C-alpha cells in the first residue's frame, strides 16, 4: 500500500511540476504581452488579463500544494528548536500537524462553499466568456490535496510519537 501511495505521490509531483512550468511560462508571456501592448499601442488586448489571472491561480495553488507536500509551509521553528527531548518534540509535531489539518479542513470547507456558490451563480469572464470555474478549480484541487497531505503529516507525527520520538 505504501508503495502505491509513494508512486501516486511521484506522479502527482510530476503533474504539479508540469503545471508550474506551463503556468509560469504562460504568466510571463501574458504579462509581458500586456506591458508591451500598453507601451506600444496604449491599449490592452481583450482577454489577456483573464488568461493571466487563471494561470496565476493555478500557479499559486499548485505551488501551495508542493509546499504542503514538502512540509515547507509557514511554521515557527523557535519552539521546535528549543525542545531537546525526543518525546516532547514528537508531541509538538503532533500538535503542529493537527493545527495544519484544522486549517486545511477549514480551507476545504471554504472551497466547498465556493463551488456551491459558483454552481448556483455561474459567472463568465467578460472578454472571453470563459467559466470562472476554470480558475476556481485550482482552489478546490489545492484544498483537497492540502487535506490529504495534512492527514499524512498527522499520521507520520503519531507514528513518531508512538515510537518515543525516534
How much is the mean pLDDT over the chain? 91
Task: For residue 67, give every residue at least 6 positions away whose Cβ sits within 8 Å of its Cβ, in sequence order, or none.
Answer: 73
Q: Is the pLDDT of residue 97 over 90?
A: yes
Q: Is the pLDDT of residue 164 over 90?
A: no
**153 and 100 in contact (C-beta within 8 Å)?**
yes
Cα angle 58, 60, 64 (rounded to 5 degrees) comes to 110
* pLDDT, tens only, 103-139: 999 999 999 999 999 999 999 999 899 999 999 999 9
**121 and 53 in contact (C-beta within 8 Å)?**
no
Confidence label for 165 from pLDDT (cuts 50, 70 and 90): low
Q: What pLDDT does 39 receive?
A: 87
Amino acid at each position: 500500500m505504501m508503495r502505491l501511495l509513494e508512486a501516486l505521490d511521484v506522479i502527482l509531483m510530476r503533474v504539479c511540476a508540469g503545471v508550474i512550468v506551463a503556468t509560469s511560462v504562460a504568466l510571463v508571456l501574458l504579462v509581458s504581452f500586456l506591458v508591451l501592448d500598453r507601451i506600444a499601442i496604449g491599449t490592452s488586448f481583450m482577454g489577456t488579463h483573464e488568461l493571466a489571472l487563471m494561470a496565476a491561480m493555478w500557479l499559486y495553488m499548485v505551488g501551495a500544494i508542493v509546499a504542503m507536500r514538502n512540509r515547507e509551509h509557514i511554521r515557527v521553528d523557535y519552539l521546535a528548536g528549543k525542545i531537546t527531548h525526543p518525546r516532547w518534540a514528537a508531541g509538538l509535531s503532533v500538535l503542529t500537524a493537527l493545527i495544519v489539518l484544522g486549517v486545511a479542513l477549514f480551507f476545504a470547507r471554504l472551497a466547498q462553499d465556493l463551488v456551491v456558490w459558483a454552481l448556483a451563480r455561474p459567472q463568465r469572464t467578460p472578454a472571453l466568456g470563459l467559466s470562472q470555474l476554470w480558475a476556481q478549480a485550482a482552489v478546490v484541487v489545492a484544498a483537497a490535496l492540502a487535506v490529504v497531505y495534512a492527514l499524512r503529516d498527522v499520521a507520520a507525527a503519531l507514528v513518531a510519537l508512538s515510537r518515543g520520538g525516534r
